[in-house]
Amino acid sequence: MRRYITQADKFLPAHGLAACLVDLACQRQVNQHKLLRGTGIFREDLLRPDCYLSLSQLMRLLSQFQRLMPGHDSAFQLGHRLFPDFSAEANAIRYSSHLSQALRLLTRFRLQLAPLLFAYRYRHKGFSYLLLSDAVGMDSRQYQFVVELYCCLLVSASRHLLGQRMPFWFEFPFSRPRHIQEYEEHLGLRLAFDRPAMAIRFEEKWLSQPLPQASALRQQLALQQIQASRVVRYTLVEAVSGCLRRQRHGGLQEVADRLEMSPATLKRRLKEHNLRFSQLQDRVNMQEALYLLTVQGLNNGEVAEKLSFNDVPNFRRACKRWTGLTPSELRALSPGC
Amino acid sequence: MFCVVILIEHRLLGNIMNFSLLRLHPQMLLVSGFAIALAIVLSFSIGDLKHSHQIEWLDVVGEGGIVLLTILWQLFLLISRPSGRVTTLLTIGLCCFMFSSLLDALDEFIHYPEQAWLPLFESVPAPFGMILMTWGLYQWHQEMLTLNAQLRRREADVREHGRVDLVTRLYRADYMREQINQLLNKRNTNFCVALVDIDQFDAFNRRFGHPEGDRLLREIAELILMNVRQSDLVCRYAGDRFILLMPDLPLKRARQQVQQIASAVKHLAFKTGNQAVFHTLTTAVAAAQENESCASLLLRVNQRLEQDKQYSGEKQRAPLYHAGR
């Protein structure tokens, strides 16, 4: 079985994001031919239940959508509309008994439900920290759009499941946007901008709260409908990041071996995502360092040791290169400020 | 020819321009086509074609350009306005002007015999058309005053059509921010700002669909407009949140006014299909303070709104309340 998908593999169900996006564009009177031009997607395709798209198709559709939609709120509108759709995966999540179960299922079906970002979850003293990373290799404009989309999806879906508002703290890696009102309205007021990484924080007590719509039987039915063959879990970027997390300071050769391809192929495939191997290495290390410094509050020596740096000055230099800030400046950014 | 121009335009520009108003003007299109045909028939019936070496191409480009642009102006006029007196006056005025300039352009190609009466046609319709257009523009001015009065409470003294929200036809938050900044820059802090947010809009959308949600937003926007003073300004903030600017109003009175809006919305029996669905608002009002920036003022109102939402969230959550017909 394949463990990851590349740009051209057709694995993403079209009835999710793509259909929702075309629908919203139609409601806002966007010309459909312009929206679908060059994507290789036809309207009839979206009506078929077994239509699958590739990452590059979806990204092209998304950037055309971004260009054609009037106003600043289209990402948030999509975020509200995406969950629950009528897929078996979404249903399985919908009938979960607790949010923690819903999160577990989301991790399992992430590629079907939220293919463009992936999260790594840290837990510390009653709080969960989701560090989000780009799973495709997007430019900064697309990335901001997708971050808005999925943050809003998280807020909207958790509210739908819990039946009440659950507080989230958001940290964004970009500067305060001009359309800040959309963030305030859809995500709440706990926002911080210009942070080194995209992070979401919430209290763990919410995870164990029983959900009003829970139904074990319906959930089982939904799970049975999901085709086992279609459950691929990672994009290539995510697979590489996962390998790097497991073996810190693993080089190109080790990762390529694990993914059963030659280093040259791995480099070429990453290039299709506009990414270099070293960028991914840096991102994984930066996220880990950020967590250890700001959440756990470890000192430079301890973090350098955990990340297997030879000495502290080396670690300081790396930190400066990743984020533009020194470790002590980073520590001052502890969450909740 | 005119039709051909229109067809070409339709093909090329159909995507960026909206031609739906054009079908309201069959008579105006006829008049315009008739003027063109008349000019061509007249000049060819009287004169003979010049030899190609006699033609001054620079004049042809200049005068022909004027004709084409006049036709284009007519087209813009007809696709942007419903029919009526102003439209008729402006179109006929432009037609007369076009008729003269077309004759003028054609005589570059055509040689007329001595003592022909055609030059009369070249010079008389143009000033006549200009007079008609001037009268039309005066009427247009009157019309705009009427329309401005209709737009009160939706628009301050700046018009920027690119900033209008397509769902509610109100201006968006950036327009409001600019208005607030203008007041603050003039050191005028004698105004209040309010936010109103529809409760459980999310649940409504899920249950009745987003097109119905959009319609609800439009209706509530109208209701808010009906309940504010002539000098107030209402914009859409984001999502289901509206923002109100109330100049020269003390906080207490502003609160009253917002309360009136809330009670008006409470009594709105919004119909989806055969059902009536009722809604409540969460509101927050704040008065501007000395030396305060627009951002901090908005943050203050937003925080207050968020607190209220939190409070109402802790109360027993009222399910969407609806009644049969």
Using DSSP, state whether A119 is helix, strand or coil: strand
Q: Under a CB-based contact definition with an 8 Å cutoff, are residues B154 and B224 in contact? A: no
Q: What is the CA radius of gyration of chain B?
A: 29
Side-chain half-sphere exposure of A175, counting CA atoms within 13 A: 1
The residue behind tokens 């919203």 is: A24
For residue A168, is it left (φ>0), alpha (ψ between -120 and 50) or beta? beta
Choose the closest CB to B15 out of A31, A73, A81.
A31
Which pLDDT score is estimated for B124? 87
A157 CB neighbours in chain B (<8 A) are none
**Is this structure's pTM higher than 0.90?**
no
B205 CB neighbours in chain A (<8 A) are 80
Q: Which of A241, A301, A231 is nearest to A266 (CA)?
A: A241
Return the amino acid letter for B77.
Answer: L
For residue B319, the chain A residue with the least C-alpha distance is A163
d(CA B22, CA B79): 5
To 10 degrees, the CA torsion angle through B300, B305, B306, B308? 130
Q: A273-332, pLDDT tens digit by residue?
A: 999 999 999 999 899 998 998 888 888 889 888 888 888 999 999 999 988 888 888 888
Distance of CA A18 to the CA centre of its chain: 17
Q: Taking all residues of chain B, what is their mean pLDDT, rounded to a whole number?
A: 87
ipTM for the predicted complex comes to 0.79
The answer to whether the Cβ–Cβ distance between B313 and A70 falls below 8 Å is no
Using DSSP, state whether B22 is helix, strand or coil: helix
For residue B18, the chain A residue with the least C-alpha distance is A29
Angle between helical axes of B85-106 and B125-151 (0-180°, round to 10): 150
| A285-A287-A291 Cα angle (round to 5) | 115
Q: Would an 8 Å CB–CB cutoff place B237 in contact with chain A?
A: yes
Mark which residues 3-62 of B lie under 8 Å from A by CB. 15
- DSSP string over B121-150: HHHSHHHHHHHHHHHHHHHHHHHHHHHHHH
Q: Would an 8 Å CB–CB cutoff place A248 in contact with chain B?
A: no
Which tokens in the block code for residue A49?
């239940």
- Residues B251-267 have a mean pLDDT of 94
d(CA A107, CA A98): 15
Asked if pLDDT for residue B219 goes beyond 80, the answer is yes
Q: Under a CB-based contact definition with an 8 Å cutoff, are residues A7 and A273 in contact? A: yes
- Residues B55-69 have a mean pLDDT of 91
d(CA A318, CA A299): 15
Q: Under a CB-based contact definition with an 8 Å cutoff, are residues B232 and B193 in contact? A: no
Which pLDDT score is estimated for B316? 43
Residue A204 gets which letter from DSSP?
G
For residue B238, the chain A residue with the least C-alpha distance is A182
Banded pLDDT at B194 (limits 50, 70, 90): very high
The answer to whether the Cβ–Cβ distance between A185 and B238 falls below 8 Å is yes
d(CA A21, CA A62): 8
Banded pLDDT at B224 (limits 50, 70, 90): very high
Element (H, E) at B191: strand B191-198
Q: Which of B147, B167, B152, B191 is nearest to B288 (CA)?
A: B191
- Residues B235-247 have a mean pLDDT of 94
Q: B144-179, pLDDT tens digit by residue?
A: 999 988 888 888 888 888 889 889 999 999 999 999
The answer to whether the Cβ–Cβ distance between A181 and B237 falls below 8 Å is yes
Q: Would an 8 Å CB–CB cutoff place A218 in contact with chain B?
A: no
The answer to whether the Cβ–Cβ distance between B15 and A182 falls below 8 Å is no
Which tokens in the block code for residue B171?
């201006």
Q: Where are chain A's structural domains?
A: 71-230, 235-331
List the single range of A164-173, B12-21, B97-106 with lowest mean pLDDT: B12-21
The answer to whether the Cβ–Cβ distance between A184 and B302 falls below 8 Å is yes
- Pair type for strands B241-247 and B191-198: antiparallel
d(CA A142, CA A243): 26
A72 CB neighbours in chain B (<8 A) are 172
- Pair type for strands A191-192 and A169-171: parallel
A73 CB neighbours in chain B (<8 A) are 238-239
Measured between CA atoms, how close is B237 to chain A, in angstroms? 7
Q: Under a CB-based contact definition with an 8 Å cutoff, are residues B21 and B77 in contact? A: no
Q: Under a CB-based contact definition with an 8 Å cutoff, are residues B176 and B235 in contact? A: yes
Using DSSP, state whether A66 is helix, strand or coil: helix
- DSSP string over B193-259: EEEEEETTHHHHHHHH-HHHHHHHHHHHHHHHHHTS-TT-EEEEEETTEEEEEEET--HHHHHHHHH
Q: Would an 8 Å CB–CB cutoff place A34 in contact with chain B?
A: yes
Q: What is the CA radius of gyration of chain A?
A: 20
Q: Would an 8 Å CB–CB cutoff place A224 in contact with chain B?
A: no
What's the topology of domain B161-323? Alpha-Beta Plaits (3.30.70)
Return the amino acid letter for B254.
Answer: A
d(CA B174, CA A179): 8
B294 CB neighbours in chain A (<8 A) are none
The answer to whether the Cβ–Cβ distance between A27 and B214 falls below 8 Å is yes
Q: Which of A227, A238, A226, A223 is nearest to A3 (CA)?
A: A238
B238 CB neighbours in chain A (<8 A) are 73, 76, 179, 181-182, 184-186
Q: Under a CB-based contact definition with an 8 Å cutoff, are residues B189 and B273 in contact? A: no
How many CB pairs lie under 8 A apart between chains A and B? 57
Residue A293 gets which letter from DSSP?
I
The answer to whether the Cβ–Cβ distance between B239 and A28 falls below 8 Å is no
Residues 6+ away with beta carbon under 8 Å from B121: B42, B99, B100, B103
Interface test with A, best of B167, B193, B236 (most A CBs within 10 A): B167
Which pLDDT score is estimated for B4? 53
The answer to whether the Cβ–Cβ distance between B15 and A80 falls below 8 Å is no
Question: Is residue B149 classed exposed, middle or buried when 0-12, 13-18 and 19+ CB atoms within 10 A define those classes?
Answer: exposed
Asked if pLDDT for residue B285 goes beyond 70, the answer is yes
Measured between CA atoms, how close is A188 to chain B, in angstroms? 8
Measured between CA atoms, how close is B293 to chain A, in angstroms? 15
The answer to whether the Cβ–Cβ distance between A189 and B303 falls below 8 Å is yes
The answer to whether the Cβ–Cβ distance between B310 and A165 falls below 8 Å is yes
Measured between CA atoms, how close is A164 to chain B, in angstroms? 7
Q: Under a CB-based contact definition with an 8 Å cutoff, are residues A149 and A193 in contact? A: no
Which pLDDT score is estimated for B11? 54
Banded pLDDT at B325 (limits 50, 70, 90): very low
Which tokens in the block code for residue A47?
């009506």
Measured between CA atoms, how close is A72 to chain B, in angstroms? 9
Interface test with B, best of A185, A189, A213 (most B CBs within 10 A): A185
Which tokens in the block code for residue A329?
């400046």
Measured between CA atoms, how close is B18 to chain A, in angstroms? 12
Q: Which of A38, A241, A258 is nearest to A136 (CA)?
A: A241
Choose the closest CB to A188 out of B237, B241, B306.
B306
A31 CB neighbours in chain B (<8 A) are 15
Residues 6+ away with beta carbon under 8 Å from B227: B257, B260, B261, B264
Q: Would an 8 Å CB–CB cutoff place A94 in contact with chain B?
A: no
Which tokens in the block code for residue B256?
């009253």
A24 CB neighbours in chain B (<8 A) are 210
**CATH: 1.10.3720.10, 3.60.70.12, 1.20.1600.10, 1.10.10.60. Which one for A235-331?**
1.10.10.60
Residues 6+ away with beta carbon under 8 Å from A241: A118, A133, A280, A283, A284
Low-confidence ranges of chain A (pLDDT < 50): 336-337
Q: Which of A250, A255, A325, A252 is nearest to A289 (CA)?
A: A325
